[in-house]
Structure 1
Amino acid sequence: MTHIAVLGAGVVGVTTAWYLRQAGYDVTVIERESAAGLQTSFANGGQISVSHATPWANPATPMKALKWLFREDAPLLYRLRADKAQLKWAMQFLQECHADRADANLVQMVRLGLYSRATLQRLRADTGINYEQQTRGIMHFYTSQAEFDAALAPTERMQELGCERHIIDINTAASLEPALYPVAHKLKGATYTSRDESGNAHLFTQRLAERCLEAGVQFLYNTEILAINADAHSTNPHVHSITIRPKGENAKTFTADSHVLALGSYSVSLVKPLDIHLPIFPAKGYSATYKINPRAPHLAPFISLIDDEFKLVISRLGDNLRVAGTAEFNGYNLDLNSTRCEAITRRVQQLFPKGIIANSVQYWAGLRPMTPSNVPLIGRAHLGQVRHGSRNDGATFDNLWLNTGHGTLGWTHACGSAKAISLLIQGEKPAVDFDFIGI
């Protein structure tokens, strides 16, 4: 039986392991944490949001970023650092902000999102897995007329691509989500996507990992991946082993027939020695989790929301309200910035002051693996510069695959990415028109 090593046990890595095992492969997952889903998948916004496909890189972003440059609580905060990788990424990001590139990237993300949402729904039906999911749709609401006006064209474009995102009036928005009634007078408009969903990504990842284990997947937790060892400069590049170090032990060699890299922001340094250059840079995202007020649970939203002016997503997860968002480009720093944390709570108290217990808040930060285009890297690894859709004929690895760079939509795209990579490894064509790499 072909043995495949999946590097990383976040939501992308675990779903990859699941679909590979379902396809009949012998699978080992290697993870430096003590359990699955403890990094970027731990406390994200919880949305399965095909409708949230407008790339960060779009024509309006450069001017906004300049305005936000010295605002500590800005939705997008770019810290100027003496970092060549960050500067290179920023230049590539600006290239993707052109209108034609932004539209092409939106198309890719909607296609993958639709495929992934349907794949998750099938997985849920097949397994009965429960992860505090809500299937009430997702609503974008706008308290800024300029933000609402800017959302009209992308909404129409998404409709053309098959995403059922529709413009709704303020009364309809408040009727769908009564928790918005107290601030309805501040709303300028809204859109609603009834088939989008929400759920606890961490809980999903851990429960799917349990099912993987039951199905025969092996997990090596508390194990650091030190190097990928390959004949990288031959005519047919090939990985012959990886070097790992289990906690408390010496480094040792691990072998498999094939390998899938699903390490998010930490993918970059691992493959750079192989002359594989991934355009991924970490964007620190924040989240705040509040206990819902048991005396007034109806004053916290049931429908998952997106506050586009403040770039926050809001999801009800059991008895908690999860609010997440913002992007801070500050390298691999995971320190919590109190100003940015307090800005989230301030906004939540403006919207749902009686629906939450504000002093119950738990803040968290995680590193989203952002590509300049926001489109993830899925397919065969190849030498040189990698971007979605890229090829490098004659210098493509025969047994190293990439499933990384999902940015803010890792939870949304996880199941579709995993199903697609499992089919590609089997030599089959996934039923999605997506720019896979190295294929």
Structure 2
Amino acid sequence: MRICVLGAGVVGLTSAYYLAKKGFQVTVIDRQPGVALETSFANAGQISPGYSAPWAAPGIPLKAIKWLMQKHAPLRISPEPELKKIGWMIKMLGQCTNDAYSVNKSRMMALAEYSRDQFVALRKDIGIQYQDGQGGTLQVFRTLEQVDAAEKDIKVLKALGVPHQVLTPEQIVEVEPGLRPVIEKFKGGLRLTGDETGDCYLFCQSLKDTCEELGVTFQFNSDIQSLSSTSNKIKGVVTELGLQEFDKVLVCLGSYSKALVKACDIDIPVYPVKGYSLTVPISDAAYAPVSTVMDETYKVAVTRLGDRIRAAGTAELTGYNLDLPKSRTETISHVVSDLFGKGCDLAEAEYWTGLRPMTPDGTPVVGASGIDGLYLNTGHGTLGWTMSCGSAAVIADIIAGDKTEIDSRDLSVERYKK
């Protein structure tokens, strides 16, 4: 059976791998000249199931207003009127209830935990190398208000059996010695010991080679123009080469999935949330992170990737704009300087921006589309790297008609029709 995977980011690539492992004949099509050259290129480096939570939560509307007025704001909403942006924000606000948060977080953590297990199995199976580390994620709180607010998440972690540690400032610097010079900045911390780190781009480069060994074909520099279907059944994909026919098609185009499937009368509430990152060489390892440090105040993650520091964060609702203004990188630069300024020279930093495909409820869209033979694996937001292997394994089982290892009933687009 011939299957086409649209998109060669980490979600598309892992999907191709798991499909090929099941014996399918897989073709991957992407407009870029290689794998992982858009959103997967320079992400935060976190594989963080313990930090998997929807942005839509009780109290977020008020917090968002406060964030917008901060100098180093973790959120920015462009003033230009845009119906898609406004509609998406309204849907997200509708998810900011206790009940919705509990349901959405449980779904996300189940998928993320399963994905972390798949990463472990993948390293064992094929020995893949990607500067991976298993040092966990340390969330640092600068205010007592943040410490108190974390209690709600800690209850969920306990209920789901997720390993974690609640830390004092003194315990924080035992886990991350590079933070000792700034210990006075912290009121407490939460360490998620099961989280991992790794370079997503390196992972994709290596997994591509494995996919090719399994018979996967890649078509790069290929413009995906539309999907072709007849009588509610997928027929194939139209590129600049014309119609290419396939038995099944899997859409893994991140923020660009929505427009492609909209022409087939499929509406997925995915909106591009712009993020920024920097990568800088480590000059003094004693003052660099050991694993990942998440600054709760600025919503910026700082991760150790070999001999480099990767910092990523901020959320900007500005459509498909990929400009990289200095004013928007100042927040991540500030956090690195504030926490690990002695460990690197920010004059050597390289900056990057990408679009995270976000759903209003935070959970990705994984499953059948409603059109026979057309499937979706998109909308992972900031957790594409974290959830990639898990959502890929799930969609491969669904396409093959096998029983999924976790409950996948509420992962598909059907949940938005309820």
Instruction: Specify the TM-score bucket, using the shorter chain as the normaliser.
Output: over 0.9
The reply on whether 1:299 has 2:287 as its aligned counterpart is yes
Partner of 1:413: 387
Match of 1:347 among 319, 335, 340: 335
For 1:436 and 1:63, locate their aligned partners in 2 and report how far apart those are by CA, in whole Å: 28
Partner of 1:422: 396
For 1:67 and 1:82, locate their aligned partners in 2 and report how far apart those are by CA, in whole Å: 21
| 1:14-413 alignment, distance < 5 Å | 14-69=13-68, 71=70, 73-231=72-230, 234=231, 237-245=232-240, 251-293=241-283, 296-381=284-369, 396-413=370-387
Partner of 1:391: none
Report the residue type matching 1:51 in the other structure. Answer: G
Partner of 1:385: none
Q: 2:72·2:298 contact (CA, 8 Å) conserved in 1?
A: no
Shift of 1:166: 2.5
Shift of 1:79: 1.6
Higher helix share: 2
For 1:24 and 1:76, locate their aligned partners in 2 and report how far apart those are by CA, in whole Å: 44
Moved over 4 A (4+): none
SS of 1:132 mapped into structure 2: coil
Question: What CA RMSD, in Å, does the superposition of the two structures yield over aligned residues?
Answer: 1.3
For 2:322 and 2:19, locate their aligned partners in 1 and report how far apart those are by CA, in whole Å: 32
Q: 1:6·1:29 contact (CA, 8 Å) conserved in 2?
A: yes
Shift of 1:299: 0.8
For 2:75 and 2:154, locate their aligned partners in 1 and report how far apart those are by CA, in whole Å: 22
Shift of 1:73: 3.7
For 1:208 and 1:70, locate their aligned partners in 2 and report how far apart those are by CA, in whole Å: 42
Label 1:372 to 1:90 Cα distance change in 2 as closer, same or farther (>3 A): same
Report the residue type matching 1:261 in the other structure. Answer: V
Q: 2:268·2:413 contact (CA, 8 Å) conserved in 1?
A: no
Report the residue type matching 2:403 in the other structure. Answer: K
Q: 1:110·1:163 contact (CA, 8 Å) conserved in 2?
A: no
Q: 1:145·1:188 contact (CA, 8 Å) conserved in 2?
A: yes
Range with greater deviation from structure 2 (110-119 or 424-433): 424-433
Gaps of 5+ in 2: none
Deviations 1:184-227 (A, max 9, x none): 12211111121210000111011101110122100000001000
Q: 2:136·2:291 contact (CA, 8 Å) conserved in 1?
A: yes
Q: 1:155·1:166 contact (CA, 8 Å) conserved in 2?
A: no
Identity percentage over the alignment? 41
Partner of 1:389: none
Partner of 2:412: 437
SS of 1:343 mapped into structure 2: helix
Shift of 1:376: 0.1
SS of 1:207 mapped into structure 2: helix
Q: 1:72·1:339 contact (CA, 8 Å) conserved in 2?
A: no
Range with greater deviation from structure 2 (164-173 or 264-273): 164-173
The TM-score normalised by the length of structure 1 is: 0.92
Report the residue type matching 1:437 in the other structure. Answer: S
Q: 2:136·2:196 contact (CA, 8 Å) conserved in 1?
A: yes
Report the residue type matching 2:238 in the other structure. Answer: T
For 2:394 and 2:2, locate their aligned partners in 1 and report how far apart those are by CA, in whole Å: 18
Report the residue type matching 1:283 in the other structure. Answer: V
Gaps of 5+ in 1: 246-250, 382-395
Label 1:311 to 1:438 Cα distance change in 2 as closer, same or farther (>3 A): closer
Q: What is the number of residues matched between the two proteins?
A: 413
For 1:404 and 1:20, locate their aligned partners in 2 and report how far apart those are by CA, in whole Å: 16
Shift of 1:436: 2.7
For 1:161 and 1:114, locate their aligned partners in 2 and report how far apart those are by CA, in whole Å: 10
The TM-score normalised by the length of structure 2 is: 0.96
SS of 2:347 mapped into structure 1: strand
Range with greater deviation from structure 2 (67-76 or 263-272): 67-76
